[in-house]
């Protein structure tokens, strides 16, 4: 099977779905002639034209509001918010309108909006362009939240999200755009709400979000040489969260480490830990451990940025500590 990048997998999903369904439009800053801030939409403007790949001013409220209106009028819009940090500007449209209209209409009106956005370390992008805010979106009823970690998952989950009748916040990680994996050329879907066991193991379960999946797999490779068998679970969809897969893994390994690039306090790791405490505490032989970013704005200085964010070595250290419990 061919190998392509995360960026190319996303572009292929967009191209194939827009070719399949002419009600799909894209709307966002610099997504047209420029090809998107990370070149995901490169070439789509030339293929589908300005009526379907719509460049906007720097106005997140307008992007989200236009996407909502287009969905209510019968289209299937894909709105791109350049960096998840800026999505706070249009929180009313997302949280109070897009997420709630289907419920408030008694199911009579659907809002098939996909909001594509980016999070994570970009390399000295500093405090306003580097945040991971997936847990905030997971807190809001009415929207589904996707965090793909591989090119294969990115394509299949984006196609599923576009075909979904409920709103989806699709969060890409800036540190993954150049990563590569095998991806089928033909369209395919991945079930939303179904986790993936990226690596099977017997000694400890690691639940990792987005880019932390890659770090966890690298950590697992190193620890295998020490005789530690690590099971790595990627939820892929964090709302709804596949808690069954996590709980079943803990029944086998009896230890749990959770890792994500977001800040520790109030992060998704806290929710996963609570689910395990409520439903699988007696299967644990050691305390739950979280490896996450420090509770501080992301620094500009490269060394400070690396210090604040979790790393493969942090995950290795955490696993070794849990194995001693």
Known catalytic residue at 129: yes
Adjacency order of strands within the sheet including 289-293: 196-199, 230-234, 204-208, 256-263, 289-293
Neighbours of 11 (CB within 10 A): 23
Whether the ω angle into residue 240 lies within 30 degrees of 0, i.e. cis, is yes
C-alpha–C-alpha distance, residues 265 and 205, integer Å: 21
Burial class (CB in 10 A: 0-12, 13-18, 19+), 180: middle
C-alpha–C-alpha distance, residues 57 and 305, integer Å: 31
Cβ atoms of 225 and 259 closer than 8 Å: no
| Catalytic, out of 129, 139, 254, 294 | 129
Q: What amino acid positions are annotated as catalytic residues?
A: 129
């Amino acid at each position: 099977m061919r190998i392509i990048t995360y960026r190319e997998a996303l572009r292929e999903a967009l191209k194939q779905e827009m070719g399949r369904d002419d009600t799909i439009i894209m709307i966002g800053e610099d997504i047209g002639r420029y090809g998107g801030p990370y070149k995901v939409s490169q070439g789509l403007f030339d293929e589908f034209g300005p009526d379907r790949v719509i460049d906007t001013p720097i106005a997140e409220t307008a992007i989200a509001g236009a996407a909502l209106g287009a969905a209510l009028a019968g289209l299937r819009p894909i709105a791109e918010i350049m960096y998840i940090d800026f999505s706070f500007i249009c929180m009313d449209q997302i949280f109070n309108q897009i997420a709630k209209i289907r419920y408030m209409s008694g199911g009579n009106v659907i809002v098939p909006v996909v909001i594509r956005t980016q999070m994570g370390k970009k390399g000295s992008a500093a405090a306003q362009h580097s945040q991971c805010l997936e847990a905030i979106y997971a807190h809001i009823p009415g929207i589904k939240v996707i965090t793909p970690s591989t090119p294969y998952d990115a394509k299949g989950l984006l196609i599923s999200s576009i075909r979904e009748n409920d709103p989806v916040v699709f969060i890409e990680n800036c540190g993954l755009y150049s990563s590569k994996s095998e991806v089928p050329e033909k369209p395919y879907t991945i079930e939303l709400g179904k986790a993936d066991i990226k690596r099977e193991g017997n000694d400890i379960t690691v639940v990792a979000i987005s880019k932390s999946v890659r770090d966890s797999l690298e950590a697992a490779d190193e620890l295998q040489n020490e005789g530690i068998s690590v099971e790595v679970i990627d939820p892929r969809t964090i709302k709804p969260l596949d808690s069954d897969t996590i709980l079943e893994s803990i029944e086998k390994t009896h230890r749990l480490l959770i890792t994500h690039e977001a800040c520790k306090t109030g992060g998704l790791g806290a929710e996963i830990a609570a689910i395990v405490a409520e439903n699988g505490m007696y299967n644990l032989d050691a305390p739950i451990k979280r490896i996450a970013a420090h509770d501080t704005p992301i620094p500009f200085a490269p060394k400070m940025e690396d210090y604040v964010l979790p790393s493969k070595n942090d995950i290795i250290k955490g696993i070794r500590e849990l194995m001693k419990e």
